Amino acid sequence: MPEDSIDHIDFEELNKRSISTPIVTHLYTADPSAHVFNNKIFIYPSHDIDAGDAFDDLGSHFAMKDYHVLSMEDIGGKVTDHGVALCVENVPWAERQMWAPDANEKDGKYYLFFPAKDYEGIFRIGVAISDKPQGPFTAMKNPITHSFSIDPAVFKDDDGSYYMYFGGIWGGQLQRWRTGIFNANQPDSPTAFLPDDDEPALLPYVAKMSDDLLEFAEKPKEVMIVDKNGNLLLAGDNDRRFFEAAWLHKYKGKYYFSYSTGDTHFICYAIGETPYGPFTYKGRILNPVVGWTSHHSICEFKGKWYLFYHDSSLSKGVTHLRSVKIAEIKYNEDGTIQTLDPYKN
C-alpha cells in the first residue's frame, strides 16, 4: 500500500487481521531470502534502520549498513538472530545502501550475494564467503565483473548449476543500463530512461554462475516475461510487469519466476520450462501489504511451501522499517498458486 494511504489505518486492528506476525521484533528486517541448510531454515534479510534520510523515489531512505542472518528449526518456532554477518565498512568496494541479499551453498561453503552502491553511486553486486550458513562472511575485494542493478537471487538447479537473477527499476537503476553503459544523466529522476507505456517493459537478467560462484560464467541475458499469447508484457502494464525482487523456485519440474510489481505492490509469478525462460505470466502470489515495498522468497520445508515476505505493520506504516513474515502457500492441481491476502477481511 502506498505510504500516503496509511494515515487512516488502525494498526492494532490490522495486526489482528494479519495472516502472520513478524518473526522478530527486536530489529527491523525486510527482503527475506530463505533457504534450508542442515535441516534448518536460514533467512537472509535486509536490516532496516532509520538513518534520517528523507523519503524519495530513489530509495535514499533505505540506507542499510549491514546484514543479520536469522535461523529457525521449525516454522513458527524460535528464531535465532546470529548477529551481524557482514557490514559495509568491511566491503572494500561498497560505500552505502546494502539492499536485498541472497545466499547459497556449494561444497560446504556459504556464499552471500548482495547489492550495494560503489563509490561512484552505481549499484553493483558483490559476493562474500563463510564456512557457516550464519556467517560471518568475508567479502571479495571487488564486485562481480559486469554486475549492475539490485536484488540478486541465486538458484541451484537439480544438475548442480547455479543461476543469478537480478534487476530493479527506479532506484535500482536498471533503466540506466538500457544501452549497456550506465547513464548518469538526470541523477535525481527515478523514472528517467524508462520505456513508454506502449513499449515492452524492462526485464530482469539471468546469468549462469562460474564454478566458484564468484563471477558470471556468461554475459547476463534478459528474462523474458510474456503473456498467454507469448507477447512481452508492456511497460504500462503496472499490475503485471517486472519492477524488482526476482526469485526462482522449482515445483514439479517447472520453473517459477516470481517478482514484485513495485508501484502497484503485487508479488506476481510466471512459469517456464528452463531457468532462462521464457516465463509465461500466471497470476499473483501476494496482494499488497502495508508499506511501499513488497519483496519475497519461496522455500519448501518439511513437505510444505512457504512465502517469506515483509510488511510495515510493526512500525505502523513506516516504509523503510519493515518486518519479515511467513505464510504457507498452496498450489492448485494445474500448478498455479493460490493468491494470498495478507490481511483477513
Residues tagged active-site: 31, 244
Integer Cα distance of 103 and 110 in angstroms: 7
C-alpha closest to that of 273 among 254, 256, 252, 247: 254
Q: Is there a contact between 175 and 204 (Cβ–Cβ < 8 Å)?
A: no
Integer Cα distance of 307 and 25 in angstroms: 19
Integer Cα distance of 288 and 2 in angstroms: 9
Written as nine digits, the cell of 156 is 541451484
Collapsing DSSP to helix, strand or coil, 219 comes out as: coil
Tell me which amino acid residue 341 is. Answer: D
Collapsing DSSP to helix, strand or coil, 57 comes out as: coil
Integer Cα distance of 227 and 201 in angstroms: 12
Look up residue 210 and give its DSSP letter: P
Strand 109-118 vs strand 267-272: parallel, antiparallel, or unpaired? unpaired
Instruction: Look up cell 504457507; give the residue.
Output: 328
